[in-house]
Amino acid sequence: MNASSYFDVTLFATTFTTLIVILDPFGAIPVFLGLTGRLKPQAQKKAASQATIISFCIILAFAVLGQQILRLLQISMEALKLSGGVLLFLVAMELLMGKDSDEPDTGDPNVNVALVPLGTPLLAGPGAIVAVMVSVAQAHASLAGWIAVVSAVVVAHLIMWFAMYFSLILSRLLGTGGIMLLTKIMGLLLAAIATQLVMGGIFDFIAEAAI
């Protein structure tokens, strides 16, 4: 058996690219520093690890249970592609037009910001959850597809953890202009991915109706 029987490279690349532009590791650095600015360096690093683990667990849960949820609600794959594409496009517009919530208010200084809003919804938000559910559906229950999707989720979260864990260093290294430039590039890529999803959903609807 060849390597493609155990690992779907194309699905991995698509899932990873989509996740990494949604998570936007470099764009999340100012938000992370704003939320953890009062913490000591060691506590900041702990928050980075906690947020990454929480996000990974939530997204993985939706990856495993997503198909059952769709079947329960009688939602078709085509509908998920269309709605997911629209949602991702809105996220892309937010990245391209700029975020007006660089320092979200948790409402309570005693709240663990690693759980809310870092772990969710900053990382494990609607966009990332839908993107993974779409990828799982595209895997068609194959072992190679599942391995590819889970691997993409793991690698994307490792990069996100790295960006938050070393946020102070990266913030000084990239500067405000560098972070903004990378965020705009991420938004442009995500808009293209969202458009592709919408087009795929429309073509699938047409093909299904023609049968």
pLDDT (tens, 9 = 90+) of the chain, 211 residues, equals: 565 678 999 999 999 999 999 998 988 898 899 888 888 999 999 999 999 999 999 999 999 998 888 889 888 878 888 888 888 888 888 888 875 444 454 545 566 889 888 898 789 988 899 899 999 988 988 999 999 999 999 999 999 999 999 999 999 999 988 988 888 888 888 888 888 888 988 888 888 887 6
pLDDT at 101: 46
- d(C-alpha 89, C-alpha 13), whole Å: 19
pLDDT at 55: 96
pLDDT at 109: 58
For the chain, what's the residue count? 211
Structure tokens, 141: 């229950």
pLDDT at 3: 59
pLDDT at 102: 46
Q: What is the pTM of this model?
A: 0.82
Would the CA dihedral through 7, 81, 203, 21 be positive or negative? negative
- d(C-alpha 61, C-alpha 197), whole Å: 22
pLDDT at 99: 56
157: left (phi over 0), alpha (psi -120 to 50) or beta: alpha
